Amino acid sequence: MIRVLVIGAAGRMGQTVCKAVLDDPELALGGVVDVNSVGKDIGEVLGLEKLDVVVSDDLSGSLESIAPDAVADFTHPSVVMNSIRIVLNHDINMVVGTTGISEENLKEIESLLNTSKSHILVAPNFAIGAVLMTKFAELAAKHFGSVEIIELHHDKKADAPSGTALKTAEAIAANSPAPRKSAYSKEAIEGARGGEYKGIRIHSVRLPGLVAHQEVIFGGLGQTLTIRHDSIDRSSFMPGVTLALRTIDQKEGLTYGLDKLLEL
């Protein structure tokens, strides 16, 4: 049985992760950390019966008292790196689903791993369909000279563009036969053409009612190809999260992207 500690357990994603851990026969919810609902039993926070697992705001203390086998972090870009430093300092494996992890952050994580026995997986998206979408876009990149990405998320998402959109753009750029250049249009309103990554335009939509959605639109001579994925509920991420928690001990060092676990 793999004992899991969830950071950000009182948040919307954190609560969903806690329930997924409770439902998985190979996982056990050993501890929960959050700055909200401190002192409450996580079972009550989840709308379940008491589980005798109390929400704490002391990550270091929880790691030492619980000694989990793995930690799942679904918090906020402003605090995630501090949590990563603490967990890796305790030589505990970690799965990070918090968005906004930058290239500089990944380099720091690799540096931290030089003195840690931890294994860590950082994934922009845990929905298996979203991972496949990125892979399909990577395959299509060889055959279409033009492409734009539209990503749509709920209005509480802290970063733009999404980590999934950036990872998709990176995959497309890396698999393109030549450097890309986006079509030019004079903007009557600044930003109307979205942001740009290596010639790939990315457009971010933030609206209440959305969860996580992305479409990649390729354009060619007399044709277009649209690859789209929709997460209509946060439960869509849970098979990927629980897979990562069950297998993170099999991956050395830093693993970036759920695709590495799916052997794509």
Return the pLDDT at 113. Answer: 97
Q: Residue 183: what pLDDT?
A: 86
Residue 264's pLDDT is: 77
Res 158: pLDDT: 84
Answer yes or no: 153 catalytic.
Answer: yes
Burial of residue 40 (CB within 10 Å: 0-12, 13-18, 19+) is: middle
Which residues sit opposite 255 in a β-bridge?
121
The identity of residue 20, as a single letter, is A
Active-site residue, from 19, 119, 153, 229: 153
- Which residues lie below 8 Å from residue 66, measured CB to CB, with a gap of 6+? 3, 5, 30, 31
SS3 of 263, please?
A: coil
Tell me what pLDDT residue 138 has: 96
In terms of C-beta distances under 8 Å and separation of at least 24 residues, what long-range contacts does 207-211 make, across chains too? 207/152, 207/154, 207/155, 208/154, 208/155, 209/154, 210/152, 210/153, 210/154, 210/155, 211/153, 211/154, 211/236
CA distance 149 to 140: 13
- Start-end of CATH 3.40.50.720 domains in the chain: 2-122+235-262
Which pLDDT tens digits describe the chain residue by residue (264 residues)?
A: 999 999 999 999 999 999 999 999 999 999 999 999 999 999 999 999 999 999 999 999 999 999 999 999 999 999 999 999 999 999 999 999 998 888 999 999 999 999 999 999 999 899 999 999 999 999 999 999 999 999 999 999 988 999 899 999 999 999 999 888 898 889 899 999 999 999 999 999 999 999 999 999 999 999 999 999 999 999 999 999 999 999 999 999 999 999 999 987
The two tokens of residue 70 are: 């793995």
pLDDT at site 100: 83
Q: Which CATH superfamily includes the segment(s) 128-232?
A: Dihydrodipicolinate Reductase; domain 2 (3.30.360.10)
Is 143 an active-site residue? no
CA atoms within 13 A on the CB side of 48: 14
2-122+235-262: CATH superfamily: NAD(P)-binding Rossmann-like Domain (3.40.50.720)
Q: 98, 8 in Cβ contact below 8 A?
A: yes
Q: Where in the chain is the domain with CATH 3.30.360.10?
A: 128-232
Q: Is 193 exposed, middle or buried (0-12, 13-18, 19+ CB in 10 A)?
A: middle
- C-alpha to C-alpha distance for 109 and 113, rounded to whole angstroms: 6
pLDDT confidence of residue 140: 97
3-state secondary structure of 72: strand
d(CA 93, CA 63): 11
Catalytic residue, from 40, 157, 198, 251: name it.
157
Q: Give the pLDDT confidence score for residue 184 in this predicted structure.
A: 86
The pLDDT value given to residue 10: 96
